[in-house]
Structure 1
Amino acid sequence: MGLFDLFKKTDKVGKDSAIDSKEIIKDVKETNTNKQVVTKLSYHPDWQVPQEQKYIFNFLANELEPLKPNQLSLAAINIDVNQRTGAWDVKAFFRNSLPKAIELGEMGLYLLDKDGKVIASKTFNMKELGSIPAESARPWVFTFEKNTLQVDELPEEGWKIAFNLVSLRGHQLDLDDSWKNKLSEDQIKQLEKIVKDLPKLGKTEVNFTGFQIKLMDDQSLAVSILLRNGNEKSVNLEQLPLEIYDANQKQIAKGYFKLDPVLSIQPNSTKPWTFIFPKEMVNAEDADLSSWTPRVPQK
């Protein structure tokens, strides 16, 4: 089956997922008009489109709703299942209502069901779409392999293909209000730099990195840890067993923390948090705190 055979007369345009172009493109020159933009059909320059397929594309493009100025959009059409591989071929229009052509790089996309739940996720090389002209709509097929799917059944009507803004914005510092209120602007900037310079996390990785430790006068131990979440969804901590090891790999503290309210770490973010070990949980005699490591013991 060829590319154009995937687009059929029975296809219909479904849900549209539009975002402001500034979410993706930095320093873009936008138009100041409030006039709605009717996008024109655009083919990839390498395509030789048969006449019958042109009728189908034109019919589908005429169903598209106008966009607001300066938007990028993904308009769902239909999903075909590859019977051999189990992959989903997701047909959609990539639309650009900017007054200039754009070309994009790697970008994460979601498939969402009618309730907004993620049912598939994948990073695509959007350069393959070529340059998308100003105020245009380009038909494309986004293939989600079986291992990128989170469900077995095709979604009901009302599904969407959408931009994964979590992956686009990059890893960020997630500061709790209690931290925002006690830190100066310079301290926040220093934390942001620390977070930025840390090794990149895997997409499903959760990592705990120590950054500050202090043995208190009452022999309790205060440790500040960067709770790092590489996932594309929040991680909620209700309880946390935690051990602290000094530079010589000697265990100097061991405790179990119940977190009430639940400590939530936002997607693709790092949240700093301080844990206080009471003195009865601490064995810091002759400890070398020149470096130290937090560990979550595995059962």
Structure 2
Amino acid sequence: MFFTGKKKNRGKESIISSEELLDEKIVSENENDEVKTELSILPDWLDSDEQEYVLRFLNNENKPLKPNQVSLSGIELNTDDEGNLIVTAFVRSSLNKAIQFDSVPIVLIGPDGERIASKVFDLSEIEELPPRSSRPWHFIFSPHEIYTTSIPQDGWQLAFELKKEHSLDLASSWEQSLPEEEKEKLKNLVSSLQPPKPGEVNFMGLQAIHKETGDLHITLLIRNGSDKNINIESLPLIIEDASGDIIASGGFKLEDFEVKANTSKPWTFIFPGALVQKEQPDFSTWKAYPPQQG
């Protein structure tokens, strides 16, 4: 079924402190000690003795952990006929006591740091992890939890994602009027993008429509990288097309417009035809920004 005849782990290892993940720490240990983790396999998890042999070999290839650490060490990834991404990894603990997991957000990261997939997993299914042990497990991402069709076979890693994931924030009017399919597309887009830097607020263009009336409808994603909600009362905007020409500029008054912490919020801004400075703008690429960011 998997990893038969494998000679090396295809993924990297990500390590986190047990105190940060589980609020578990044994303070008496020397932090410089090295802890080897023994293989621990759940009953009926394997198809053959050969697979157990391969897993023991691969587990021995893992480097020792330091005390008070938990890690995810990637073995391999595969896709099934339904488009699910199956990532196999060792869940490792260097603690001298057994530990139990709950629901944990986990992200699959590519060789260049790109987000490939993310999901909140119920790791209670792994059952109690013995002291100083390493347990293989399948992490299954369904198609809507995957952000790219380019799946690397090597150099990827699974990682615990403790910080709240940057998410979509929809205004109530959008929540009520937008079809569920479009909401899902926006959620996947926001999840697939590199989040704004801490404290940063930026704008991403989603759609530009030049109406027959001459009006210009610009839909933006307002991205809040701050850990605080922000309120925007007014927003001056400049629109440039693919030629670098300024095709419209104007200011917008916003009422009770809030972008929650660590979220992105879509909104449509309408420039009246009188403010549009180019009859046939090239929207093959374009950008929108406040004047001070030009």
TM over 0.5: yes
Match of 1:39 in 2: 37
Amino acid in structure 1 at the alignment position of 2:228: T
Change (3 A) 1:47 1:276: closer
Conserved in 2, the CA contact under 8 Å of 1:30 and 1:99?
no
Match of 1:107 in 2: 104
Structure 2, gaps ≥5 residues long: 173-189, 205-221, 236-250, 259-265, 270-294
- Provide the C-alpha distance between the structure 2 equivalents of 1:123 and 1:144, rounded to a whole number of angstroms: 10
Per the TM alignment, residue 294 of structure 1 is displaced from its structure 2 partner at its CA by 3.3
The residue correspondences of 1:22-171 to structure 2 (distance < 5 A) are: 22-26=19-23, 28-33=25-30, 34-45=32-43, 47=45, 50-82=48-80, 84-167=81-164
- Provide the C-alpha distance between the structure 2 equivalents of 1:239 and 1:60, rounded to a whole number of angstroms: 45
SS of alignment partner, residue 167 of structure 1: coil
Change (3 A) 1:149 1:99: same
Q: 1:298 aligns with which of 268, 273, 284?
A: 268
- Provide the C-alpha distance between the structure 2 equivalents of 1:60 and 1:9, rounded to a whole number of angstroms: 11
Match of 2:168 in 1: 204
- Provide the C-alpha distance between the structure 2 equivalents of 1:66 and 1:294, rounded to a whole number of angstroms: 51
Per the TM alignment, residue 48 of structure 1 is displaced from its structure 2 partner at its CA by 6.3
Per the TM alignment, residue 87 of structure 1 is displaced from its structure 2 partner at its CA by 1.0
- Provide the C-alpha distance between the structure 1 equivalents of 2:267 and 2:135, rounded to a whole number of angstroms: 51
- Provide the C-alpha distance between the structure 1 equivalents of 2:85 and 2:138, rounded to a whole number of angstroms: 10
Conserved in 1, the CA contact under 8 Å of 2:107 and 2:117?
yes
- Provide the C-alpha distance between the structure 2 equivalents of 1:51 and 1:276, rounded to a whole number of angstroms: 67
Per the TM alignment, residue 115 of structure 1 is displaced from its structure 2 partner at its CA by 1.1
- Provide the C-alpha distance between the structure 2 equivalents of 1:90 and 1:128, rounded to a whole number of angstroms: 16
Match of 2:195 in 1: 233
Match of 2:187 in 1: none
- Provide the C-alpha distance between the structure 2 equivalents of 1:49 and 1:239, rounded to a whole number of angstroms: 51
Query: C-alpha deviations, 1:109-143, integer Å up to 9, x for none?
Result: 11111111111111110001111111110011111
Match of 2:261 in 1: none
- Provide the C-alpha distance between the structure 1 equivalents of 2:27 and 2:123, rounded to a whole number of angstroms: 21
Match of 1:265 in 2: 224
- Provide the C-alpha distance between the structure 2 equivalents of 1:297 and 1:71, rounded to a whole number of angstroms: 43
Identity %: 31
- Provide the C-alpha distance between the structure 1 equivalents of 2:163 and 2:34, rounded to a whole number of angstroms: 27
Structure 1, gaps ≥5 residues long: 169-201, 209-229, 241-262, 284-291
Q: So what's the TM-score if we normalise by structure 1?
A: 0.59
Conserved in 2, the CA contact under 8 Å of 1:108 and 1:121?
yes
SS of alignment partner, residue 164 of structure 2: helix
- Provide the C-alpha distance between the structure 1 equivalents of 2:232 and 2:257, rounded to a whole number of angstroms: 12
Change (3 A) 1:271 1:165: same
Query: Over the residues paired in the alignment, what is the CA RMSD in angstroms?
Result: 3.4
- Provide the C-alpha distance between the structure 2 equivalents of 1:31 and 1:65, rounded to a whole number of angstroms: 22
SS of alignment partner, residue 8 of structure 2: coil
Amino acid in structure 1 at the alignment position of 2:74: A
- Provide the C-alpha distance between the structure 2 equivalents of 1:273 and 1:31, rounded to a whole number of angstroms: 48
Per the TM alignment, residue 30 of structure 1 is displaced from its structure 2 partner at its CA by 4.1
- Provide the C-alpha distance between the structure 1 equivalents of 2:230 and 2:119, rounded to a whole number of angstroms: 29
Match of 1:12 in 2: 8
SS of alignment partner, residue 257 of structure 2: strand
Conserved in 1, the CA contact under 8 Å of 2:78 and 2:86?
yes
Q: So what's the TM-score if we normalise by structure 2?
A: 0.60
Per the TM alignment, residue 157 of structure 1 is displaced from its structure 2 partner at its CA by 2.2
